[in-house]
Chains A and B, each alone.
Chain A
Amino acid sequence: MNIVVCIKQVPATTEVKINPETNTLVREGVESIINPFDMYAIEEGLRIKEKVGGIVTVLTMGPPQAETALKEAISLGCDEAVLVSDRAFAGSDTLATAYTLARSIKKIDDFDLIICGKQAIDGDTAQVGPGISEELNIPCVTYVKKIEKIEDDKICVERMMEEGYAVIQLPIPCLITVVKEINEPRLPSLRGMMKAKKAQITILNAADIAAENNRIGQVGSPTLVSKIFAPPFKGEGEMILGDVGEQVEKLVNKLKETKVI
């Protein structure tokens, strides 16, 4: 089984700062980590490999520093790592990112299963996974919380729903995005860390993946961020306690006080 895991390097904080002039993320001075949801994607890829054999390739699009994220993935047990990096990719939105990653995956040879995280903790759109599958014209299931069965030509997964879950079977090749309920990511091993230190990372640029110029980077990104703001904080709610009679009385008084009724 050829498994491709897409990982994104993100700032190690959920308090992302936005540059108000450019409406882009401020990444300077913040430590970078692998997007936490992608750690579950890596773990699931490794577990499938350990069960049915095969190789796990980690893939990221990002600046040269994203190599550290790939090396960390290798220290966990991933076999190959590919960095897609080119100045021409700068300013990619989710559509351009998905296109670029899809082109890179095509370049990787026969793939059977692509695993993405549910969403990235900085961009938070959850669009890239489905975007890749669309671009590659393969089926996709999001929010996977369990892989029930995996065979050469099909996979059966549990997709998390608001209440309960759906059991879905889909043919291979396909793409899934995973939620944190799916597993508990492992820590690196010493041998893995040694291997990561020596690992050769394949670097692909725009020409390597034969990308169309108008589909990558700023040019290939139709998303226009017009404004980013934090929604105003809603005041704390008040709990009305007591038995039903008391609650009704208190509520009616409140409504009268505030002149609603």
Chain B
Amino acid sequence: MNYFLSEEQQMIKELAKKIAEEKMKPVREKYDENGEFPWEIVEALADADLCGLYIPEEYGGFGGGVLELCLCVEELCKIDGGIALCVAATALATFPLLLFGTEEQKKKFLPDIASGKKIAAFAVTEANAGSDAAGIQTTARKEGDFYILNGTKCFITNGGEAEIYVIIAMTNKGKGARGASAFIVEKDTPGFSFGKKENKMGIRASSTRELVFNECKIPKENLISREGQGFIITMKTFDASRPGVAAQALGIAAGALEDAVKYSRERIQFGRPICSFQAVQHMLADMATKVEAARALIYATARTIDNDPKARATKCSAMSKLFASDVAMEVTTNAVQVYGGYGYMREYPMEKRMRDAKITQIYEGTNQIQRDEIALALIKESARSK
């Protein structure tokens, strides 16, 4: 299918593919096993200029948008859906700065992110506030020129490894969802420490950790936008970042499909390659159709956002994350089926893809929450058109 990518976008794909094949492939098993953080790959991506694709040139980035980010994430995830998350989750934490940061904040934080010198993390979730994000308990109280943070975030991607953290905390509990604000907290700030490191089913190369704030004092300049904007910032950030999760899912699925087709041509049973059996063929045909549909939806969503970054893109953004992640789960499950017993073994990269795919249905809003948001948008649109 022709997506009419520009020459630059083709280049990004080509380069990301090269890094994935030459740098990630040889180490993907190791990082999946030991769960260490793949700094060598972050460095490789930094050297290749792939860390700042979506950051404007004036801050040291490439000057692309969500589509460029998605193209890169997709290619990386064809080889490994966990390692690539160090970039994708950094983007999640960078969008609040890009969308709402002051000039000073952008100048201070974006160049190091664009160059790949630093990675970032975004933290909303708490033990008792997942889907119900408005239930967060972490607080930020103003004292003179500072804010003092207290509370614990959990399940934070890039936790412990990132230098730059965007934290959502309550500045005014009485106001409910309108009482939350977004802050930038740098690693090594006194009162900021790391708690439990999760041992996960998939994306094991990605670090998922608790962030603990205990009378953590940060300058008031680290407030993003105004007090009370915390959830508006979160929602708009998700609008921009969910296509990235979708691209992660797409890459995992596309990689699984590619390997499954290859394997089906090589594996001989009953004296012929298993790809000659219609039951296998139809499975592959359905997988390919869904992967392509997911790709089309994601690219169209990314282009819609890049065309007008200020407009709200909640509906299409949620649709691409919902659809691509469900496709990834189905396609990786069927790819394991095509591999038969070999697919179930750790020796082949297939079962890992199935484990990696699962997370895309859960984070940045579970797929139930995506459906809620899509439905809400539909109802609002309908009401408005009357």
Contact = CB atoms under 8 A, between A and B. Distances in A.
Partners in one complex: yes
Interface of A: 186-191, 193-194, 197
B47 A193 contact: no
Interface residues of B, number: 16
Contacts of B47: 186-187, 189
A188 B23 CA distance: 13
Interface string B305-346: 000000000000000000000000000000000000000000
Nearest to A196: B11
Nearest to A191: B49
Closest 10 CB pairs of A and B: A190-B49, A189-B49, A193-B11, A189-B48, A191-B49, A187-B18, A190-B15, A187-B48, A190-B48, A189-B47
A188 B15 contact: yes
Which residue of B11, B18, B44 has the most chain A CB atoms within 10 A of its CB atom?
A: B11
B33 interface: no
Contact of B23 (A187, A190, A193): A187
A36 to B, nearest CB: 13
23 contacts: A186-B47, A187-B18, A187-B19, A187-B22, A187-B23, A187-B47, A187-B48, A188-B15, A188-B18, A188-B48, A189-B15, A189-B47, A189-B49, A190-B12, A190-B15, A190-B48, A190-B50, A190-B62, A191-B49, A193-B11, A194-B8, A194-B11, A197-B7
Contacts of A191: 49
Nearest to B11: A193
A191 B62 CA distance: 8
Given A188-B18, A189-B48, 9 more contacts: A187-B19, A187-B22, A187-B47, A189-B15, A189-B47, A190-B15, A190-B53, A191-B49, A197-B11
Contacts of A197: 7, 11
A193 B11 CA distance: 7
A191 B15 CA distance: 11
Contacts of A186: 47
A219 B47 CA distance: 46
Main SS class of interface, B:
helix
A194 B22 CA distance: 21
Interface in B2-25: 7-8, 11-12, 15, 18-19, 22-23
A12 to B, nearest CB: 15
A197 B7 CA distance: 10
Contacts of A188: 15, 18, 48
A186 B7 CA distance: 22
Contacts of A190: 11-12, 15, 48-50, 53, 62
A193 B18 CA distance: 13
Contacts of B12: 190
B154 to A, nearest CB: 35
Nearest to A188: B15
Contacts of A194: 8, 11
A191 B18 CA distance: 15
Contacts of B23: 187
A69 to B, nearest CB: 16
B157 to A, nearest CB: 24
A190 B15 CA distance: 7
Nearest to A197: B7
Contacts of B50: 190
A190 B18 CA distance: 12
